[in-house]
Homo-oligomer: A and B are copies of this chain.
Amino acid sequence: MSGYIPGLEGITAAQTQISMVDGANGRLVYQGYVIADLAEEMSCEAVAFLLWTGRLPTRAELDALSLELAGSRTLTPAATSSLNALPVDTDPMDVLRSVVSIQGVEHRLAKPTVALAIHATASFPTILAMFHRHQRGLDPIKPRADLGHAANYLYMLTGEEARPELVRALNTYLVLLADHGMNASTFTARVIASTESDLTSCLVGAIGALKGPAHGGAPSAVIEQLEQIGAADDPEKWMRDARTRKVKFMGFGHRLYRVYDPRAKILKAMCERMNPKFFALASKVEEIALRLLHEEHPERPQSTNVEFYSAGVLQAIGLPKEYFSPTFAVSRVAGWSAHVLEQAANNRIIRPQSEYIGPEPRKPVPLGERG
């Protein structure tokens, strides 16, 4: 029996075919394909198929999947009325956690399947688009079966077809963030799956984990910090002062990558093309941030993480910043459900131990004699 391992760092909690984070070489691999080969070539539907089944779909399989997704975009009456009952200022991550839970209620425990993964994946954009409109007092837009997953999400937000370059950018974003090894939300999904629970329970737990600012809850914070820096007379002075007050630079650092995150690299190029104003400031801030962090810790590899430039891309696509984290979930649900399927296929309950550091057992003092 080993001692306490904080954060389970370095512990291998799963074997997986789904993805590999090759931090030393700055590579992310999905089922044997390097992310750079998928990001701008493949639809997010094809990549979801890849994650779930281990291979790329044929044309017929892709058509069937698209049809199945399009047919699963409507919320149940219970999910619809719950969504409409939520206060309009609810955090969209909480909306997603709650309405995904209700959309997936069941009478008898079902085993996770690809069909259930498709149903769940289809519902995420609908939930967010409906709530986005509900917040603004607007009627929901019915999904359109002739639009792909990314295009339909943007369509349901506004009621207008988005420009093809925006759809393509969102598609690339959805591909890039669909899976990433044993991150905290994916691990949450696998722990829940390991009790033989249902897919919805796994996804709902994963959404809750992704909400945390130490995981996926930070992309809007990138924008907020950039706005503060952009408003300052001297960005470098602002940033130096911030570090003396121990303010964290948002969008930097990752436990695994020793070199530039391959997703951030692609998103940076997209951001430069799509959001030049954001890029001008962001690339300057990036340069200063990496320099200051290196000055502080020359021994540590420092790098820009996926959240930094994805903020600029999602902004250019037209998403409000409080929808950045939930849109991360729209992407990651493909990976979460793939991991749930993999865990369920070869399961062992994930039940580590804890070390007791409380007092030695003693007799309780009766209530009358206390305090």
Contact = CB atoms under 8 A, between A and B. Distances in A.
A182 interface: yes
Interface string A338-358: 000000000111111111111
A311 interface: no
A94 B82 contact: no
Interface in A177-236: 181-185, 187-188, 191-198, 200-202, 204-217
Interface residues of A, number: 118
Nearest to A193: B212
A18 interface: yes
Given A46-B367, A85-B81, A212 B187 contact: no
B182 A195 contact: no
Most buried by B among A184, A192, A216, A357: A192
A62 interface: yes
Interface stretch (A51-59, A143-151, A279-287, A291-299): A51-59
Given A15-B4, A16-B358, A10 B184 contact: no
A97 B201 CA distance: 8
B15 A354 contact: yes
B184 A350 contact: yes
A371 B106 CA distance: 36
A364 interface: yes
A20 interface: yes
B90 A105 contact: yes
A365 interface: yes
Interface stretch (A25-33, A64-72, A162-170): A25-33
B12 A355 contact: yes
Contact of A101 (B8, B97, B195): B97
A245 interface: no
A198 B211 contact: yes
